[in-house]
Amino acid sequence: MKILLAVTEVATVDDAFEIEGTEIPDQYLGTDLNEWDEYAIEEAVQLQEADIAAEVVTVTIGPETCEQTIRQALATGADRAIRIWDEAFEAVDLLDVSTKTAILRAVVAEEEPDLVLSGVQSDDDSWGATGVALAAAVDYEWAAVVNHLAHDFEDGTASVRRELEGGVEELTTVDLPAVLTIQTGINEPRYASLRGIRQAKRKPLEVYGLADLGLEESVAESRVRLTAMSEPERESDTTVWEGTPEEAAGELADLLRKREVVQ
Amino acid sequence: MSDILAVVDHRRGELRDVSYELISAGRGLADATGGDLHLAVISGTVERFAEKLDREGVDAIYTVDYGEEFNHGVYTQVTTQLYDKLAPQYVLTANSVNGIEYAPAVATELDLPIVTDAIDLEADDKTLTVTREIYGGKVETTVELEGPAICTIRTAEWPGGEGTGTADIEAFEATIDEDALGSSVRGFEEVGGGDVDIADADVLVSVGRGIDDEENLELIEDLADALGATISASRPVVDSGWLPKNRQVGQSGTVVTPDVYIAVGISGAVQHVAGMKGSDTIVAINTDPNAPIMDIADYAIQDDLFAVVPALIEEFQ
Ligand SMILES: Cc1cc2nc3c(=O)[nH]c(=O)nc-3n(C[C@H](O)[C@H](O)[C@H](O)COP(=O)(O)OP(=O)(O)OC[C@H]3O[C@@H](n4cnc5c(N)ncnc54)[C@H](O)[C@@H]3O)c2cc1C
């Protein structure tokens, strides 16, 4: 079986930051591999170790700077990586779900994977929609918020559990080929070994633009536009205990005694 | 093209609260566009559901009596067919685990733009403005789009629709292409049982990713001992295997309402808050003044938990 892993680098924001227009200046931002993707990668690697997956290919939409993050996936075991970027993306501040779907659809058409794994959502802007939108676009079956994937794949199906709200899991059978969006906690992501990190440097990483995928530049023009960014208004009446840790702890202790939580 | 179509959520014989919230969100949009609010109830005991949903502001309810439980293929097919029949301006669904399993597929099928996890919606003649959160609730954004669209709404953001309505309830004859249904639900399982039920606790010391390492949990155990409290956790602590699943507070864990909830190194992501916002008194210990938990809390200490927690333990020795 061939697995396509859709992974993304996410932005992280410092405790103290500022907003300028519809952007947070770079100085307040960091980057990380999307938390959900770590679990999707581990799931693919386990299928590879079980000799179920013959090839694991990652695909990422992102600028050159995210290659370092992509290499993390390669270091844990993925065989090769595809990165999609285009000058046309530089001019827009949001790639909406339709745009990402159109791009990934072209990659799926080229790679013809049996299984596409992605995270449930990206940690930074939490759209949580691309995996399912992609499945419909490429006519694959799908399941969202998967927290267990059985390894037997009988009769061309995958047997999964979906994590619903309130501690309930749904047991579902999904026809292959399929897109699964992976939930955190499905496995225990491993750390890349030093050997893995060395090998990752030599693994192929291909870069394509829109034209390479046979797509028009207009794909970059999302129908959804980002128009404002702000810090949420604080309307609450939170009492903030100031002072040294000891003083603040003293205030909390007084409250707990007053509430007769502890004597 | 000014109507709103909202598709409700139900599970195992019960309408979920967000279904009523979809009525208020949908009515608000319909008032702005000058259109009607249509609801769709797909699968399950649809007539019983439709009666319950007939609340103020609902103009029509379409029922589709096909199967018992949610199946994303059925929901996708029915929603696209209803869209073709009603030509609504906006389609709304819940941003629930099931909502995000079919709304994006409907967007693809109908070539509509999609915006997920809305916390506020505004519309005028041509533009839809959606407010949503990014960076785990630390930043708010608005996005805009023109023309028809599909949007998923965050649960517990809108009040539930009330009153009694005079909606036309109509069975919609959807054509389900069964060969195209590529997934089937085999059953459900309750998970996360075990020795303690954190929902019973009067005082919870709840630990999050800020604890940084499994070894540091000892500090939290000491605090819980000193206070006679029960330990609970946010998801990453459970995902890492540091505490069992029955300790997880939140959307996919347990909903708790203790007298005192002390959140230690927890940011207050929406899925966590869903499980603890009903607590009587909430205390947050967090280094980040912008963490959403600092807003939700009644009392906050903006400092390093590794300094505050030992000092607190000291208070009770
Ligand atoms: C479908 C779905 C379901 C989910 N269900 C749940 C659920 O049931 N329960 C749940 O909790 N989450 C759930 N989540 C995950 C949720 O989105 C968040 O990722 C999670 O709640 C974050 O946990 P956290 O606050 O511990 O970690 P983080 O968000 O990483 O926050 C850690 C906090 O610790 C603070 N901190 C760090 N160091 C220190 C220090 N030394 N002293 C003081 N403070 C410090 C930081 O400032 C930060 O605010 C779900 C997500 C999805 C998509």
Q: What is the pLDDT of residue B111?
A: 97
Tens digit of each residue's pLDDT (9 = 90 or more) over B138-197: 999 999 999 999 999 999 999 999 999 999 999 999 999 999 999 999 999 998 777 789
Q: Structurally, what CATH architecture does the domain formed by A2-220 represent?
A: 3-Layer(aba) Sandwich (3.40)
Q: What is the pLDDT of residue A119?
A: 98
**Could you report the predicted ipTM of this complex, rounded to two decimals?**
0.96
Min distance A155 CA to chain B CA atoms (Å): 13
Tens digit of each residue's pLDDT (9 = 90 or more) over B112-132: 999 999 999 999 989 999 999
B167 lines ligand 1 (CB under 6 A): no
Q: What is the pLDDT of residue B193?
A: 77
Q: Which of A235 and A24 is assigned the larger pLDDT?
A: A24
% of residues, chain B, pLDDT over 90: 97
Which residues of B are less than 8 Å from A141 in CB distance? 182-183
Measured over all CA atoms, what is the biggest interatomic distance in chain A, rounded to whole angstroms? 71
Cα–Cα separations (whole angstroms), residue A168 to A31, A163, B8, B256: 33, 6, 19, 16
B235 lines ligand 1 (CB under 6 A): yes
Which residues of A are less than 8 Å from B239 in CB distance? 184-185
Mean pLDDT of B98-120: 98
Nearest to A173 by CA among B187, B176, B12, B74: B187
Report the length, in residues, of chain A: 263
B251 lines ligand 1 (CB under 6 A): yes
- Quickly state the pLDDT bin for A91 (edges 50, 70, 90): confident
Which residues of B are less than 8 Å from A13 in CB distance? 135, 138-139
The DSSP secondary-structure symbol of A195 reads H
Tell me, yes or no, if B145 comes closer than 8 A to chain A by beta carbon. yes
Tens digit of each residue's pLDDT (9 = 90 or more) over B189-242: 998 777 789 999 999 999 999 999 999 999 999 999 999 999 999 999 999 999
Q: What is the pLDDT of residue B195?
A: 77
Q: Does the distance separating the beta carbons of B105 and A136 come in below 8 Å?
A: yes
Break chain A into its structural domains and give their ranges. Answer: 2-220
Strand-pairing partners, residue B62, are: B40, B170
pLDDT at A260 over 90: no
Going from the Cα of B270 to the center of ligand 1, the distance in angstroms, rounded, reads 9
pLDDT at A263 over 70: no
Structural domains in chain B?
A: 4-180 (3.40.50.620), 198-316 (3.40.50.1220)
pTM: 0.96
Mean pLDDT of A33-57: 97
Of the candidate ranges A88-97, B59-68, B166-175, the one whose mean pLDDT is the lowest: A88-97
- Quickly state the pLDDT bin for A172 (edges 50, 70, 90): very high
Mean pLDDT of A96-103: 98
- Tell me if A210 sits within 8 A of A86, measured CB to CB: yes
B136 lines ligand 1 (CB under 6 A): yes
Mutate to test the pocket of ligand 1, among B135, B235, B290 (most ligand atoms within 8 A of CB): B235
- Quickly state the pLDDT bin for A234 (edges 50, 70, 90): confident
